[in-house]
Amino acid sequence: MHPILILVLQRLGLGLLLLLAASALIFGLTEILPGDAAQAILGQAATEENLANLRAEMGLDRPAITRYFEWLGGILTGDMGTALTNKLPIGDQIARRMSSTLFLAFWAAIISVPLAILLGLIAVRYQNRWPDKLISGITLASISLPEFMIAYILVFFFAVKLFWAPSFASVSPGMPLLDQLHAISLPVAVLTMVVLAHMMRMTRAAILNVMQSAYIETAELKGLTTFKVIYRHAFPNAIAPIVNVVMINLAYLVVGVVVVEVVFAYPGMGQYLVDAVVKRDVPVVLACGVIFAAVYILLNIVADVVSILANPRLRHPK
């Protein structure tokens, strides 16, 4: 077997292990802390007897480790249990909301990734000149504000003052695509701004790192045009770090989505999770938490695998 394949498989195996550990951590965090689902349902005033009865009914009296594996098995087979608050199956809710969230994240990614790479390239091209400084200034400003602040500033100006876009992102299944896009234009803009800054900055650093290599100088001293230097020599080496940057930032979108959905009352996973936290609906929190964590971890694994695959030393071993 090619050594690089072994490395990739190792990385994937480690990733699966990490996923398992992460699910155990999330489950464990809701276990070791005081208070459980029964307490949450009955409230502080509940008697010990009532609590014990409910615990027995819900199976909470069995050892945590048993319940963890049951829960894990459920998640893997798509059975995520029922919500405490409305007794509805969590799986159905998540399936519906997941597609909404992915719709939002998809458009944010479609806009922010090319934009970030383009702006990163511009920053490199005009390094230390005004376009670079302007871009880093905007970066500084946008990482200094929480997502919901950016959201309200945009709502205040574009929805309330200018009436360009709705301040609530209500999307229904039958809506034409264009209307849907109009409805989510502001949340997409916010998510774009949030990840754009980081992505741009990291892209800039990755490209600069490559452009300062000695082999770029060699290429320039061969009399190649700037385009050829970039296309033939910089690009093959920059692609892996850039993909890495993109993946890390898409993972970052996962967090941004939670807040942005709440601001725009968008019926996605993020809002579901926050609602559940406020209502102390632990099964829902567990299910959502584990899905968010899994997406985050998977994107990071993809980033690692791309780095391995793109490394010429690993691809062509001695």
List the interface residues with another protein, window 169-208 (CB under 8 A).
Answer: none
- Tell me: does residue 161 bind another protein (CB under 8 A): yes
Q: What is the DSSP string of 254-304?
A: HHHHHHHHHHTT--SHHHHHHHHHHTT-HHHHHHHHHHHHHHHHHHHHHHH
Q: By rule CB under 8 A, what count of residues binds another protein? A: 74
CB closer to another protein out of 131 and 137? 137
C-alpha span between 297 and 301 (Å, rounded): 6
Minimum CB distance to another protein smaller for 115 or for 224: 224
Dihedral, 207, 210, 216, 220 alpha carbons, nearest 10: 10
Q: Least distance in Å: CB of 262 to another protein?
A: 6
Dist CA 187 CA 12 (whole Å): 33
Phi, psi of 82 (to 5 degrees): -115, 150
Q: To the nearest whole angstrom, how small is the minimum distance from the Cβ of residue 73 to another protein?
A: 20
- Using CB under 8 A, which residues numbered 23 to 52 contact another protein? 25-26, 29-30, 33-36, 40
Q: How far is the CB of 112 from another protein (least distance, A)?
A: 18
Q: Residue 82 forms beta bridges with which residues?
A: 89
Closest C-alpha among 147, 97, 102 to residue 267: 97
Closer residue to another protein in complex, CB, 242/286: 286
Residue 30 identity: T
State how far the Cα of 308 lies from the Cα of 4, in Å rounded to an integer.
7
Residue 4 CA to residue 161 CA, distance in Å, equals 56
153 binds another protein (CB under 8 A): yes
How many other β-carbons are positioned within 10 Å of the β-carbon of residue 295?
A: 20
Minimum distance between the CB of residue 215 and another protein, rounded to whole angstroms?
A: 4
Determine the interface stretch with another protein among 20-28, 57-65, 175-183, 198-206 (rule: CB under 8 A): 20-28
Interface with another protein in residues 216-275 (CB under 8 A): 217-225, 228, 232-233, 236-237, 251-252, 254-255, 258-259, 262-263, 273-274
**Residue 122 within binding range of another protein, rule CB under 8 A:** no
- Output 106 or 148, the one with its CB closest to another protein: 148
Nearer to another protein, 52 or 298 (CB): 298
Closer by beta carbon to another protein, 88 or else 114: 88
Among 64, 293, 308, 309, binds another protein (CB under 8 A): 293
Please tell me whether residue 134 binds another protein under the rule CB under 8 A: no
**Cα–Cα distance list, 20 to 15, 124, 160 (Å):** 9, 40, 46
Residue 129 in the binding site for another protein (CB under 8 A) = no
16: contact with another protein by CB under 8 A: no
Of 67, 2, 7, 72, which Cα lies nearest the Cα of 37? Answer: 67
The verdict on 147 binding another protein (CB under 8 A) reads yes
The tokens describing 30, both together, are 């809701």
For the CB of residue 174, give the shortest distance to another protein in the complex, in Å.
Answer: 26
